[in-house]
Chains A and B, each alone.
Chain A
Amino acid sequence: MCLVLALAVTVSFPVIAALAPAVTRITVAGLPLTLIVLGFAFYPVLLAIGWFYNRQARQLEARFTDLVDPPGRAGRPPDA
């Protein structure tokens, strides 16, 4: 799911730029949009996706562990 989101975000920008060249003419505070998107804005998005994925994966693995091997059962320390 995160992979799809990540690919969708990155893959869409060139398509937008190709279909509507006017988009790349936009300037924000004197800087072209292309610079803002490719130079700065992509990185927080990548980080957010990674952070979200890590949280989901951790929760999923914890739930799975509890399901297979409930805490407090013999042979498994409750803190694991």
Chain B
Amino acid sequence: MPDASIGAIAFVTLLTIVVGARGIRVARTPDDFMVAARQVPPALNAAAISGEYLSAASFLGIAGLVVSQGLGSLWYSVGYTAGYLVLLLLVAAPLRRFGAYTIPDFAAGRLGSRGLRQTATVLVLIIGTFYLLPQMKGAGITLQAVLGTPYWVGVATLGVVVSCNIAMGGMKGITFVQCFQYWLKLCAIGIPAAVLLIATGHDSARNISPDQAPVFTSATVVSVPLATDFTLTRPAEVTVTGLLDRRSLAGQTVRLCACRHSAGAGTTLGFRAGAPVPVSLAMAPSSAQSWDSAFLTSGTDGAHPLAATYGVIVATFFGAIGLPHILVRFYTNPDGEAARRTTLIVVLLLSTFYLFPAMLGVLARLHAPQLYMSTDSDSIVLALPSLLLPGLPGEMLAALVAAGAFAAFLSTSSGLLVSVAGALSHDFMNRGVSAFRWCAVAAGVFATTAALLINRFSLALLVGWAFAIAASSFCPLMVLGIWWRGLTRVGAAAGIVVGGGSCLAAILATMVGAAHGGWGAVLLGQPAIWTVPLAFAVMIVVSLATKRTVPSNVGQVMLRMHLPEALSRGNAPAYRAGIR
């Protein structure tokens, strides 16, 4: 059965390696981008940005959360898109006119401080690592679902492929490849969603209606791959083969109470039409709120859903500005006006993509409630096609989804690893090619190892955390740096350290399980709601306190960022010299 999927994954991986090997140049040197600049039209550039941006969380995570936690999880997809609108409104054009390639470049160029540059580089490493982890996890569960290999095999495979590929010099900023990746991902999620929608129709609207626990619409046999505890909302008669509640049964029909049960690995449970769907404890929403609620509960034990929702909104809306692997693409725009057009097209492309995870999530809820017995919500998208469409068509769709998912992990983790290794080798080691290679391998090994420990967190939650750190450190730096003359280097460094540090501390506390329920769980699990205002406040207050150290060239730098190209064209060489 998995042959088609293996083939599709191997094809995507091989394609990436081959294309990468052809560009045998290392690192994203400014010159590579100077060449690309003035040649990349906004539509192509926008597809490249989207291709690098759409990651495991978008491809697998959101649909899975919609099934397990409810429709409120769609705030993640809205936020991932709206982040680019905020980027368009606040930074796109001035950033292109400034001419920085990375956030440390921007910090150093705007405020002229080497210490600030290194602080920013450390943050790039932290955000990059947080963003890499979910990609690794995605690869782990994808191979698990397709091949049945243990979790670590997929993680290690992606780690080795990406690290080697980048260490050998592949996957530099090849605009065309990333552009291709966007269309591949769109097809790999859009075609299955459309086919499954047509194939299943929408006859069983019952499971979607408010406050209804899901029920089986037809007699269904559920097989339990791993030992799982589950609950039933109503008593039900079930035909059981295998181990259930420590009893070994062979096809007997038993009446199960509306309580907790445990099924052994390999057990099959036959439910009748109209029977309540069993929900595995790993999947059960932690709060009692209904599935169609507009709030989001992931990562917070279900406490104070309104605050948790705003936490995700703040993190995703303001986080896109501070992502280390996206910014560099803005330099390939010919001018500020083109940067704005590119960003708007990115919003359009992302909007199109995010229609489909929502669709898949709702389809899974409607037609494949047996997925509630799976142990990890992130593998739902992978399992859905063959459940809804048995036989060859389902297998083909499953292969397409697996290939698209792998494309997502490869493109995002390559872009991230290049950013991380580039920052590491540029700012903390001698700047040679071999330093870059060693940094790529080291970062890859570190991310792979760490990914083995974070299996229990959902993909969208992990990526949301990377956004939260970016929003509480780099977002204030960029916004104030572009729009406020009074920013000083001390103020910027203090804001980055306090904002990013407190956000990171809150997330680590959640990861080790420090808070259970209540306000503690919300403020630590979705920290952006307080760390972003805190970072802005610290940056402004400290800057005001150190007013004397405002850089003397601030007027000139501001002029460069905000003056339309038509007026500044004559001065271009003069200000370029000031940056590097």
What is A's interface to B at a CB cutoff of 8 Å?
Answer: 2-3, 6-7, 10-11, 13-15, 17-18, 24-25, 27, 30-32, 34-35, 37-40, 42-44, 46-47, 49-51, 53-54, 57-58, 61-62, 64-65, 68-69, 76, 80
Tell me whether chain A's interface is mostly helix, strand or loop, or mixed: helix
For B71, the closest partner residue in chain A by CB is A34
Q: Are A24 and B293 in contact (CB under 8 A)?
A: yes
State the CA gap A58–B561 with chains docked (Å).
15
For B336, the closest partner residue in chain A by CB is A61
Which residues of the other chain, B, contact A39 by a CB distance below 8 angstroms? Answer: 71, 74, 355, 358-359, 362
State the CA gap A61–B94 with chains docked (Å).
12
Q: Are B81 and A24 in contact (CB under 8 A)?
A: no
Q: Can you add 14 more A-B contacts, CB < 8 Å, to A38-B72, A39-B71?
A: A6-B82, A10-B78, A14-B295, A17-B295, A24-B210, A31-B208, A32-B210, A35-B71, A38-B74, A42-B82, A43-B81, A54-B340, A68-B567, A80-B566
Given contact pairs A32-B71, A34-B293, A57-B93, A64 touches B355 in the complex (Cβ within 8 A): no
State the CA gap A51–B345 with chains docked (Å).
10
Given contact pairs A47-B344, A47-B348, A61 touches B564 in the complex (Cβ within 8 A): yes
Q: Are A38 and B294 in contact (CB under 8 A)?
A: yes
Q: Are A64 and B340 in contact (CB under 8 A)?
A: no
Which residues of the other chain, B, contact A38 by a CB distance below 8 angstroms? Answer: 71-72, 74-75, 77-78, 294, 358
A51 → B minimal CB distance (Å) = 6
Q: Are A27 and B209 in contact (CB under 8 A)?
A: yes
A71 → B minimal CB distance (Å) = 10
Which residues of the other chain, B, contact A35 by a CB distance below 8 angstroms? Answer: 71, 74, 208, 292, 358, 362
A76 → B minimal CB distance (Å) = 8
State the CA gap A24–B362 with chains docked (Å).
16
For B292, the closest partner residue in chain A by CB is A32
A3 → B minimal CB distance (Å) = 5
Q: Does B18 belong to the interface (CB within 8 Å)?
A: no
Which residues of the other chain, A, contact B210 by a CB distance below 8 angstroms? Answer: 24-25, 27, 32
Q: Are A42 and B78 in contact (CB under 8 A)?
A: yes
Tell me whether chain B's interface is mostly helix, strand or loop, or mixed: helix
Which residues of the other chain, B, contact A14 by a CB distance below 8 angstroms? Answer: 294-295, 306, 309-310, 313
Q: Are A54 and B341 in contact (CB under 8 A)?
A: yes
For B310, the closest partner residue in chain A by CB is A14
Q: Are A30 and B208 in contact (CB under 8 A)?
A: yes
The 10 closest A-B pairs by CB, nearest first: A43-B351, A38-B74, A39-B358, A17-B294, A32-B292, A61-B564, A34-B71, A80-B566, A30-B205, A50-B344
Given contact pairs A30-B202, A32-B292, A10 touches B348 in the complex (Cβ within 8 A): no
Q: Does B90 belong to the interface (CB within 8 Å)?
A: yes
State the CA gap A10–B83 with chains docked (Å).
12
Which residues of the other chain, A, contact B208 by a CB distance below 8 angstroms? Answer: 30-32, 35
Which residues of the other chain, B, contact A13 by a CB distance below 8 angstroms? Answer: 294
Q: Are B564 and A64 in contact (CB under 8 A)?
A: yes
Give 27 pairs: A residue, B residue, CB < 8 Å, sorted on A: A2-B89, A3-B89, A3-B90, A14-B306, A14-B310, A15-B306, A24-B292, A25-B210, A27-B210, A31-B208, A32-B71, A32-B292, A34-B71, A35-B358, A37-B294, A38-B72, A38-B74, A38-B75, A39-B71, A43-B351, A49-B85, A54-B88, A61-B564, A64-B564, A65-B566, A76-B566, A80-B566
Q: Are A58 and B337 in contact (CB under 8 A)?
A: yes
Q: Are A6 and B355 in contact (CB under 8 A)?
A: no
Q: Are A34 and B88 in contact (CB under 8 A)?
A: no
Q: Are B317 and A10 in contact (CB under 8 A)?
A: yes
Contact check: which of A37, A46, A58, A64 meets B85 at CB < 8 Å?
A46
Interface centre among B294, B348, B566 (most CB of A within 10 A): B294
User: How many pairs of residues, A versus B, come closer than 8 Å at their CB atoms?
Assistant: 123
A56 → B minimal CB distance (Å) = 11
Q: Are B355 and A40 in contact (CB under 8 A)?
A: yes
Which residues of the other chain, A, contact B567 by a CB distance below 8 angstroms? Answer: 65, 68-69
Given contact pairs A24-B293, A64-B564, A6 touches B89 in the complex (Cβ within 8 A): yes
Q: Does B343 belong to the interface (CB within 8 Å)?
A: yes
For A40, the closest partner residue in chain B by CB is B355
State the CA gap A24–B208 with chains docked (Å).
13
State the CA gap A69–B570 with chains docked (Å).
13
Within B66-114, the residues touching A (CB, 8 Å) are 71-72, 74-75, 77-78, 81-82, 85-86, 88-90, 93
Within B134-189, the residues touching A (CB, 8 Å) are none
Which residues of the other chain, A, contact B75 by a CB distance below 8 angstroms? Answer: 38
State the CA gap A55–B325 with chains docked (Å).
28
A49 → B minimal CB distance (Å) = 6
Which residues of the other chain, A, contact B85 by a CB distance below 8 angstroms? Answer: 6, 46, 49-50
Q: Are B205 and A51 in contact (CB under 8 A)?
A: no
Q: Are A46 and B347 in contact (CB under 8 A)?
A: yes
Within B522-573, the residues touching A (CB, 8 Å) are 564, 566-567, 569
B42 → A minimal CB distance (Å) = 11
Q: Are B81 and A46 in contact (CB under 8 A)?
A: yes
Within B200-238, the residues touching A (CB, 8 Å) are 202, 205, 208-210
State the CA gap A27–B209 with chains docked (Å).
8
A44 → B minimal CB distance (Å) = 8
Q: Are B343 and A50 in contact (CB under 8 A)?
A: yes
Q: Are B295 and A53 in contact (CB under 8 A)?
A: no
A38 → B minimal CB distance (Å) = 4
For A49, the closest partner residue in chain B by CB is B85
State the CA gap A45–B77 with chains docked (Å).
14
State the CA gap A44–B78 with chains docked (Å).
11
Which residues of the other chain, A, contact B33 by a CB distance below 8 angstroms? Answer: none
Q: Are A51 and B81 in contact (CB under 8 A)?
A: no
Q: Are B313 and A47 in contact (CB under 8 A)?
A: no
Q: Does B354 belong to the interface (CB within 8 Å)?
A: yes
State the CA gap A40–B205 with chains docked (Å).
18
Which residues of the other chain, B, contact A18 by a CB distance below 8 angstroms? Answer: 295, 306
